[in-house]
Structure 1
Amino acid sequence: MELYEIFCAGRFLRTATPLEIRSPYDQDLVGRTWLAGHAEYEMAVGAALAIRHRLLSQPAHERSAILMNLVELMKTDREVLARLIALEAAKPVRYAFGEVDRAIQTFFVAAEEARRIGGEYLGLDWTPAGNRKEGLVKWFPAGVVGGIAPFNFPLNLASHKLGPAIASGCPVILKPSTRTPLSVLHLARLMHDAGVPEGAVSILPMDRRTGDLLVTDYRLAVLSFTGSPAVGWDMKARAGRKKVVLELGGNAGVIVDEIADPDMAAIKCLSGAFAYSGQVCIHTQRIFVHRSIFRQFTEVLVNETAGLKQGNPMDIQTDISAMIDEANAIRVEDWIGEAVGGGARILAGGNRKGSYMEPTILTGTRQDMKVCGLEVFGPVVCVEPYDGFDEAVRLVNNGRYGLQAGVFTDSLAVMNQAFEQLEVGGVIINDVPTFRVDHMPYGGVKESGSGREGVRYAMQDMMEPRLLVKPF
């Protein structure tokens, strides 16, 4: 059993408050770390403020080189990182390896974008007042960034705070989830070895009271939060003048058009619905299938679901394992029961054993049921027929969220209509809304968030444009 010291202002520390991390799968002890308190938080903020001006003058090639050093160290420790994610989060290890690879890509993109921070030349003589004057727009780091990362992608979603901050020249203080801090604390070791300047990065597991300082502290310039909508919007209301980037939840919808291949769509929806027990912000939660192919689609989806292997997350063959805790599994079970009590039918699954929830397919659901109208964040998918594409668009748009949507079709007209009319941050054609690569702009509308991630887009929120006007 390994000890993981917190990373505070460039130093590895222990505090008076130990934290044990146990596997959600079998409650075995995975590792021990410590919670940062007010003193460690102040140390991190003080170091971040002190190094801010040094980072401002750090050449882009140096920031890029540090990030590339980190990429190579992560490649070397790929298996270590994947094992930690699988153990601390009960994420099947084959998905954990995928998360590590994505985090490596996130830092690689950050290394590239660090050298591409551009500017803009403006001719100002559009009016007589601008005669013999010209403008130059240059981007500057906004200041100290506070990042709060969730349990479900403990490494990669932390990387989406850390990578853009380093590339932008911003000091960053990250609060990982206290359920899954070990993979990102191992990353801290690699960051230290990669040459991150002392004080530029702190990674502090904190309780909610201490972590809330990232929200309310006026000395921070940016808050980047990934988590639930209720918590995120409350943070934004209390954050004062700082920039706030929110990547929140959703109940992502899929439309399967009448000319789509129902078998292919069903197989892709299987992964979108049940990967990591549906504990994904863009988990496929609602599927609307044209009535003419509804029966074929559901038969394939039910049959493929029956073939998923449940078990130990460390087994490379495991498809689905325990949820993050039993309380969340009980909540999902209750929501399923509520839907069935309201007239929905279970096509597959529906049973719980401890923190394991069977992959569940429902039909006959309504928007006022929690499994449809709220973010289930579990292995549940609702499948319903529709008759016309306009109706399907209305069904997807009917609700409080708007993160991503998937549309299966070969019709350019349908693709264009979906892009124009779906009220979401991203429309994915012939794939599930769970699709994401780490350089694309990612974020939602309505209650699903504010701002965008994807390294270059996150950097824009971590920087400020400044205008120089001069004569020539």
Structure 2
Amino acid sequence: MAVTVRADALLIEGTWTRGESEPITVLDKYHLTPVGTFASASAEQATRLIAAADAAFRQSTQTPYDRGAVLDRAAALVEARAADFVAAMQAEAGFTRSDAAGEVARCVQTLKLSAEEARRLAGEVVPIAGAPRQAGRFAFTLRVPLGVVLAITPFNSPLNTVAHKVGPALAAGNAVVLKPASATPLSAILLCEALVAAGVPAGMLSLVHSKGSVTAGLLDDPRVRFFAFTGSTEVGRTIQRAAGLRRTQMELGSIAFTILCDDADLAKALPKVAGAGYRKAGQVCTSVQMLLVHRSIADAVERRLAPLVAALVAGDPHDPATEVGPVISLKEAERIDAWIAEALARGARRLVGGARRGALVPPTLLAGIDTEMRVGCCEIFGPVVCVLPFDTLDEAIARVNATPYGLASGIFTNRLLDALKAAERLEVGGVHINETSSSRVDLMPYGGSKESGFGREGPRYTLHEMTEERIVTIATQ
């Protein structure tokens, strides 16, 4: 299916508008050929867009029911145009048909969950009469929207991560300015089309494509009251500095570990590891990069996991048989390839892998790595899984906690006490027992600790972050 990039790719005051600044060219990530080009926003357009969002927020009369109805309609429209979204992500992100279809299905659920949360967002009764000398007074809290939310989204989840920021923001009654990744803007454009068609009021949703100084201007504008960002830790620090006292939600870098204890059921664990390590070509913050394996089963894991990885079909994401597509750019593919070569030169063993073809890095399984290699101490963000042995669970937990990151970890064990020890001691935002680090359901809280950021995605949890609690008291005598 052909993908068309609309020239009027900015959404300002409910109207699709052409950009006035430098061009952005979207590439097919496998063929490395242009899909289309459109202009980014000028500084004047960005300023006008923020002003329109602020004005729309202050004038909005939508009820929680109205907001829920819009999001439900948008979910239905996304579902009806699933083929368009899949085609867009196959081209712009290099996703396989399966990965793209999964992204669409999850986006639909995220919008529906946001609709539900819009209708039941509420404060609570405060038992003020239980305090001394407060007879005749009542108190309750309201949850009120913050204002303009700036959502900055990544290339590796160009639809569902957008929905996780835009859906809850609109559900809470905020106005949203969306800036998608320049490498993958098509899905965001299609989603905004669905939301506008579903009835989002003019100005309550804006779409901007920008670079450099224009983006800096968006960050510095005091009318933006909340920043929702998913991306690298380095960029997250820049946004946090610009935010000052304004609120932020940061989902940043990670080195994701999954632990296989000596009692792990390998028949169940290893297929999950293969799936979690290589879906979206390993470009997921929670993709299994480090597989910590008890030394007593290390040989068996290498012997049984290698053929599962070798069987993965890597190639053109437009081919229905493909299971692993290209990474986001030729530059990133060259970096990943260089890291693999460095590890091999320093003594690592390549159990599965092969030569890079353009932006396509074959699924790679390494053993014998150490923390002096970049694959052992940095986030690789590619289709590479490293097998490391450990002797005790305490050693494995310490290895996970030694990194500056803390997004999610998985552990496979049938010993309850070991599972609970890991849950209590792993310094991460999520611990998944008998699942991989990449286990996620869209209604649950999702986020990290340390340099993996803070704040939580998941519509119910994001709604609370994108609102503030207001206390109301009433004296009756």
Q: TM-score, normalised by structure 1?
A: 0.97
Instruction: Answer yes or no: is the 8 Å Cα contact 1:362–1:381 preserved in 2.
Output: yes
Q: Which residue of 2 aligns with 1:43?
A: 48
The 1-side partners of 2:200 and 2:36 are apart by: 25
Which piece of structure 1 moves more, 340-349 or 425-434? 340-349
Identity in percent: 38
1:287 is aligned, of 280, 288, 291, to 291
Q: Which residue of 2 aligns with 1:23?
A: 28
Instruction: Answer yes or no: is the 8 Å Cα contact 1:267–1:300 preserved in 2.
Output: no
1:108 is aligned, of 102, 112, 134, to 112
Within 5 Å, give how 1:72-471 maps onto structure 2. Answer: 72-471=76-475
Which piece of structure 1 moves more, 167-176 or 240-249? 240-249
Superposed displacement of residue 319, structure 1:
0.8
Structure 1 stretches of at least 4 aligned residues deviating more than 6 Å after TM superposition: none
Q: 1:458 to 1:208 in 2, by over 3 A?
A: farther
Superposed displacement of residue 121, structure 1:
0.7
* Count of aligned pairs: 471
The 1-side partners of 2:277 and 2:109 are apart by: 24
Q: 1:370 to 1:130 in 2, by over 3 A?
A: farther
The 1-side partners of 2:371 and 2:129 are apart by: 56
Q: What code does the residue aligned with 1:357 have?
A: V
Quote the RMSD (CA, aligned, Å): 1.4
Instruction: Answer yes or no: is the 8 Å Cα contact 1:263–1:297 preserved in 2.
Output: no
The 2-side partners of 1:214 and 1:164 are apart by: 21
Instruction: Answer yes or no: is the 8 Å Cα contact 2:260–2:411 preserved in 1.
Output: yes
SS for the counterpart of 1:225 is: strand
Instruction: Answer yes or no: is the 8 Å Cα contact 2:315–2:360 preserved in 1.
Output: no
Instruction: Answer yes or no: is the 8 Å Cα contact 1:229–1:248 preserved in 2.
Output: yes
SS for the counterpart of 2:432 is: strand
Q: What code does the residue aligned with 1:353 have?
A: R
SS for the counterpart of 1:356 is: coil
Superposed displacement of residue 340, structure 1:
2.4
Q: What code does the residue aligned with 1:92 have?
A: T
The 2-side partners of 1:213 and 1:437 are apart by: 35
Q: What code does the residue aligned with 2:66 have?
A: E
Superposed displacement of residue 428, structure 1:
0.8
Q: What code does the residue aligned with 1:235 have?
A: I
SS for the counterpart of 2:288 is: coil
The 1-side partners of 2:248 and 2:46 are apart by: 20
Structure 2 residue 57 is the aligned partner of structure 1 residue 52? yes
1:64 is aligned, of 65, 68, 73, to 68
Superposed displacement of residue 350, structure 1:
4.9
Q: What code does the residue aligned with 2:272 have?
A: K
The 2-side partners of 1:373 and 1:214 are apart by: 33
Instruction: Answer yes or no: is the 8 Å Cα contact 2:65–2:119 preserved in 1.
Output: yes
Q: TM-score, normalised by structure 2?
A: 0.96
Which piece of structure 1 moves more, 411-420 or 336-345? 336-345
Instruction: Answer yes or no: is the 8 Å Cα contact 2:272–2:436 preserved in 1.
Output: yes
The 1-side partners of 2:98 and 2:35 are apart by: 18
Cα displacement string for residues 191-217 of structure 1 (whole angstroms, at most 9, x for unaligned residues): 111000000000111113212223222
Q: What code does the residue aligned with 1:344 have?
A: A
Which piece of structure 1 moves more, 349-358 or 223-232? 349-358
The 2-side partners of 1:16 and 1:143 are apart by: 27
SS for the counterpart of 2:38 is: strand
The 2-side partners of 1:101 and 1:89 are apart by: 17
Runs of at least 5 residues in structure 1 that lack an aligned partner in the other structure:
none
Instruction: Answer yes or no: is the 8 Å Cα contact 1:138–1:465 preserved in 2.
Output: yes
Instruction: Answer yes or no: is the 8 Å Cα contact 2:350–2:367 preserved in 1.
Output: yes
Instruction: Answer yes or no: is the 8 Å Cα contact 1:61–1:114 preserved in 2.
Output: yes
Q: Which residue of 1 aligns with 2:4?
A: 2
Instruction: Answer yes or no: is the 8 Å Cα contact 2:145–2:173 preserved in 1.
Output: yes
Superposed displacement of residue 81, structure 1:
0.6
Superposed displacement of residue 134, structure 1:
2.4
Instruction: Answer yes or no: is the 8 Å Cα contact 1:51–1:171 preserved in 2.
Output: yes
The 1-side partners of 2:418 and 2:159 are apart by: 37
Runs of at least 5 residues in structure 2 that lack an aligned partner in the other structure:
none
The 2-side partners of 1:350 and 1:459 are apart by: 45
Instruction: Answer yes or no: is the 8 Å Cα contact 2:328–2:359 preserved in 1.
Output: yes
